Structures are given as structure tokens and as C-alpha cells.
A and B are shown apart, each in its own frame.
Chain A
Amino acid sequence: MRVAVCIKQVPDTEARLRVSKDGRWIEEEDLRYVVNESDGYALEEALQIAEGSGGEVIVVSLGPQRVQEALRKGLALGAARAVHLVDEAFQGGDAAATARALAAVLQNEDVDLVLTGSQSDDAGWGSTASMLAGHLGWPHAWLVMGVEMEDGTAKVTREMESGMNEVFRMSLPAVIEVQAGINHPRYASLKGIMKAKRKPIDTPTPAELGLDPAQLGAAGSRIEIVDVAFPESGEGAEMIEGDASTVAQTLVDKLQNEARVL
């Protein structure tokens, strides 16, 4: 099977974040970027499926130059080649604009399956891959916790609320959006990292994909972030300050005498 996996590079979720000067996003300088958590699981799932069927993995990402690092990681883990939508026209789009660009790439690839994470840890639209599936005319499933290939179909386990899963079969080709925790992602070997340096990364332009730049990136987006902010301080917790033993003593006192839960 030929499997494409779409990944996104996002700020490290443990990073200390600051709002940017224009107020519309976070300060990106000095931030550490990582492969989006659920996309990392999708990559592992893609590698396992390809290995199990003697196929290969193509890793695809849209984003600025820094994203090459994420693609190299995918190549080091075992993907055969990468596609990087790095052209300025692709950048800054909402889920719909990003899906349009990814669809143009995948329409040219003869793949049986597209895997990706369920939601990005930055913008978190949770929509891109479902929209991509619509462009391709393929079935999709979101929040997937298990995939098994059986007789040219995919048996999929999907999370529902309240600790329940539903299990169903869907036809291929398909777009499957996996949830973090579906597998145990591998680490790159030194050999893999060395080999990755020689693997190709294609960088198609909108024109090469037959796309109108007006339909892409920020220009092609209907959803626009006006500003971002931290939740207002003061709404919420009474903060207890001091050294550890003072804090502990104060808290116990409050739990006993104020909240009366101890």
C-alpha cells in the first residue's frame, strides 16, 4: 500500500507563550517547533501499514522553511520521500485553504490511504483532513484509535464520548485522522537520519499544482483570527503564594475551614 501522511509543525506545547506585538498570534521567534502530537502518531501508523503491506510512505506538510526539519524527521523514520508546500502563497490559510492545497498534491499521488492527526495543537481547527477527504471524494474518519487493513478495506475503531469506541469498516482509498495514543511512535536511528539526507523533498508551486493563489493561504481563507489573548487573570483561582511549606499549610487550612472539603 502507498500511504500518504500529512503532518504539521507546531510550537512545542510545553513552550512558554507570549502574544505577538500585533496581537493576532503568538511571538514565533525563539519558539521550539515540533511535529504536531497526533500527526506523529499518524506517521507511525503509516509506517506500520506500509511495512505490513510492502508499500511506501510519502510525508506531506504545508508550512514555512522551518517545516523541512519535520519532513526530514519523517524521512529519517522511514518515509520514502516528502512534499513540502513552502511557497508563500500557501501560508497562513484556514483549514479550507490548506485542504485545497493538500488535495491538489494528493490527487497527483497514487495512494490508497491518507493518514493524519485529528487536530493540530496550535490553531486546532480539527477540520483540514475531513475537508481534504471531501475534495478527494473519499470516506473519512476522525478521532481514530485503531486501523486494520482487511481485504482492501479498513477496519476502524473510533472514539466516542464517555469512554466508548465504535468499530466500523470503510472502503479504500480513505482519509483517516488518528488520535494520539493509537500506537507507540519509534525513534529515528542514526542510519535513518543519514539516509534521510539523501531522500527527495519536492516543493511544488501553486502553478505546478494547477492552483489559483487567490484560493490559497491567507488570501483564500474565509476565517481570520482577529486577536488572541490569555484567559483573563482574576477570573478563576485564588492563587496561594509563598514557600512550599507556607503554601501547603495555607492550602490545608483553606480546604478545612473555607471550602470544608477536607
Chain B
Amino acid sequence: MAENTIYVVLQHRDGKLHRMSREAIAAAQMLAGTIGGSVEAVLLGSNVGDLADQAAGFDLAAVHVADLPVLESYTPGAYVNVLAPVIREASPAFVVFPHTYQSVDLVARLAQEIDAAYVPEVVSFEASGDDLLWRRPVLGGKLQARVRVKGEGTVFLSVQSGAFRADDAAVAPESGGVAITPLAGTDVSSDRELLGVEQVGGDQVDLSKADVVVAVGRGIGKEENLPIVEELAAALGADIGASRPVIDNGWLPRDRQIGSSGQTVAPKLYVAVGISGAIQHLVGMKGAQCVVSINKDPSAPIFTVSKYGIVGDLHEVVPALTEAIQAARG
């Protein structure tokens, strides 16, 4: 086993490395610093020479590239066919993935294939004696767990969006020249026949440019409570958004969804009403300048990303706030 080698599997879109790939490089480099190891990147795709050069711009010991027509689009079958023998052969101590929807589709399957341990959604890590402890959200983000991995063998990690800073990914020293090595791909086949890509729920509402957003979550209890929040939005001149459960319940149309599978917003003011703050929601609104949260649960994780927090019943707090805003605006 290559005790000090850390692999990082890069993801890309439209000819660019995914931001979260740079975050994964940063995480892998930080881990290498902790265990005294080196980082090698793996890149899969078709005609990805430019991307390999981009990857080689980072401070890495090597960039391994599988450039095959069958890898034009991601499928778990082809990716497992390529990655399983490579990882089995190199036997790195860790393989770091960005925790994207693509990775989640892939990594557990790959881990099973080569009998690696897999810790998903890592937000930080720390050394504790001889162990490394990995911190990750549990119970919908209400709590965070520290987990450790027992036994021998490669450990897979997927790092949560925003947990490590893309800007921290160290670039290659100018004298350097990171070696780009091709990976042989034999018996690589797709297990999905791709039919197309489509926009979810149309594109009638664009929340991405809204200055003020009032977003509602499951905590509003029932659809009948929406008007109270809509009055607040009207007073603020805000657009209404929602976290996923509200959309799934059919209380608001899908084009109002904010989060990893919905829209990404970056308003000046974001008022979250009854939103607990699961990570899938937080990634869609972390660009907001000022977040105000109203929730009856004082331990709701949304408060950790808020500037101002109010613990209380929306039936009391929201109408009072609407009135105060109307008064302030004359």
C-alpha cells in the first residue's frame, strides 16, 4: 500500500475544472500536509488535453489522464471500469472526490467494487492520536458527527461544497512541470444510454438576480401559512423562494426551489422562515450578503450561517416584522 499517496479525482464541465475539484485539490493537499504525503490527480474524459494542462498547474506529484471517447459523458459503469484497476494497482492511502451529485452516484459503487471504506460529505478533519477523525453532517445537518475508519486499505472521502477553499489549492512551482501520464483503458463500457439533458421546471422565475429573497421551509408547517410569509415578502419587495420539502409538498412550484438541485441566489438580504438549513439548501444561498433566520428550533443549523437569528413562532414574529418594515418604509 502506498501509505503516503493521496489521489484526487477531478470533475469538470464545459472544458473547465469544476470549482469543487479545486476545493478537493485543496483538501487533498491539506491532508498530504497532515500525513506527510503527496497528491496525484486523476482526470477522466474525452479530448481533455487542455483540462490536463489546467490540472498540471496545481502543486501535484502527477496528473493521470484517461482520455477515451466512452468517457465523453459520465456514466458510473465506464468510470468504475477505468478507476477501479487504477486505484487497486496504486493502492493510495486516500482518494479524495468533490461531493458533487456525480461523485455521489459514483463513489459508493466504486468503493464497493474495490472494497474501500467511504466517508461521504466530509467538512473537515483532524488528527487524534494515531487516528484521523472526519467531520460530516448527520440528521439533516442538525448535528455533526466525527467518524473514524478502522482497518487497512484505501479510504475514499468526498468533500462537501465550500468546506475547503478553492483558492487554497496550491499551484505548481514555476520550475516544476507536473508529469501528465496517460492511463490505459481496456474493457471500458458505459452502463447508461444517454438520451438528453433538460432544465427542471422551466425557467420562468430567475431568482439569481433578486436583491431580496424571502425563503420558506418545512417549518412553516402547512400551505395555509404561506400568505403570512408572502405579506412579509411584499413589504420587503422580495422574491419568494423555498427549500426542497416545500416544493416536494407542492406548496410552491419547482422553479422557486433554492439549493443544490434548484437555483443559486446571492441577494443583499435573505430571510429564511422555517428553514432548518440542510447543506443542500445552504449551498444555494451562501452567497447572500445578509441572512436573517426565523425558526422555532434554536439548534437549527441555518443559524450558523445567519447574521441575525430569531427563535420564535412564525405566526407572531412574521406579522410583527411585516408591520415594522411597512412602518420603517413609511
Residues facing B in A221-262 (CB within 8 A) are 221-231, 235-241, 244-245, 247-249, 251-252, 254-256, 259, 261-262
Selecting from A48-56, A62-70, A77-85, A137-145, the interface stretch reads A137-145
Task: Looking at the assembled complex, report how far the CB atom of A65 sits from the nearest CB atom of chain B, in whole angstroms.
Answer: 22
CB nearest neighbor in B for A119: B104
Q: Is B310 among interface residues, defined by CB-CB distance under 8 A?
A: yes
Contacts of A210 in B (CB 8 A): none
Q: Is B77 among interface residues, defined by CB-CB distance under 8 A?
A: yes
Are A165 and B109 interface neighbours, CB within 8 A? no
Cα-based distance from A29 to B3 in the complex (angstroms): 43
Selecting from B21-29, B49-57, B175-183, B244-252, the interface stretch reads B244-252
- Where chain A touches its partner, the secondary structure class is mixed
Q: Is A191 among interface residues, defined by CB-CB distance under 8 A?
A: no
Could you mark each residue 94-130 of chain B with 1 if its beta carbon is under 8 Å from any beta carbon of chain A, else 0? Answer: 0000001110110111011100011111000000000
Given the known A-B contacts A180-B244, A259-B290, are A230 and B200 also in contact in the complex, defined by CB atoms under 8 Å? no
Q: Which 5 A-B pairs have the closest CB atoms?
A: A237-B309, A134-B112, A127-B108, A181-B248, A130-B108
CB nearest neighbor in A for B313: A244
Task: Looking at the assembled complex, report how far the CB atom of A91 sits from the nearest CB atom of chain B, in whole angstroms.
Answer: 17
- Where chain B touches its partner, the secondary structure class is mixed
Q: Is B185 among interface residues, defined by CB-CB distance under 8 A?
A: no
Q: Is B34 among interface residues, defined by CB-CB distance under 8 A?
A: no
Are B307 and A135 interface neighbours, CB within 8 A? no
Are A165 and B112 interface neighbours, CB within 8 A? no
Are A231 and B198 interface neighbours, CB within 8 A? no
Q: Is B306 among interface residues, defined by CB-CB distance under 8 A?
A: yes
Residues facing B in A186-218 (CB within 8 A) are none
Q: Is A21 among interface residues, defined by CB-CB distance under 8 A?
A: no
Cα-based distance from A248 to B261 in the complex (angstroms): 32
Q: Is B171 among interface residues, defined by CB-CB distance under 8 A?
A: no
CB nearest neighbor in A for B150: A222
Task: Looking at the assembled complex, report how far the CB atom of B277 sits from the nearest CB atom of chain A, in whole angstroms.
Answer: 9
Given the known A-B contacts A164-B200, A237-B306, A251-B292, are A245 and B301 also in contact in the complex, defined by CB atoms under 8 Å? no
Are A26 and B139 interface neighbours, CB within 8 A? yes
Are A237 and B324 interface neighbours, CB within 8 A? no
Contacts of B323 in A (CB 8 A): 245, 248
A164, A169, A237 — which one has the most chain B CB atoms within 10 A of its CB? Answer: A237
Contacts of B7 in A (CB 8 A): none
Given the known A-B contacts A169-B192, A169-B195, A222-B150, are A230 and B143 also in contact in the complex, defined by CB atoms under 8 Å? yes
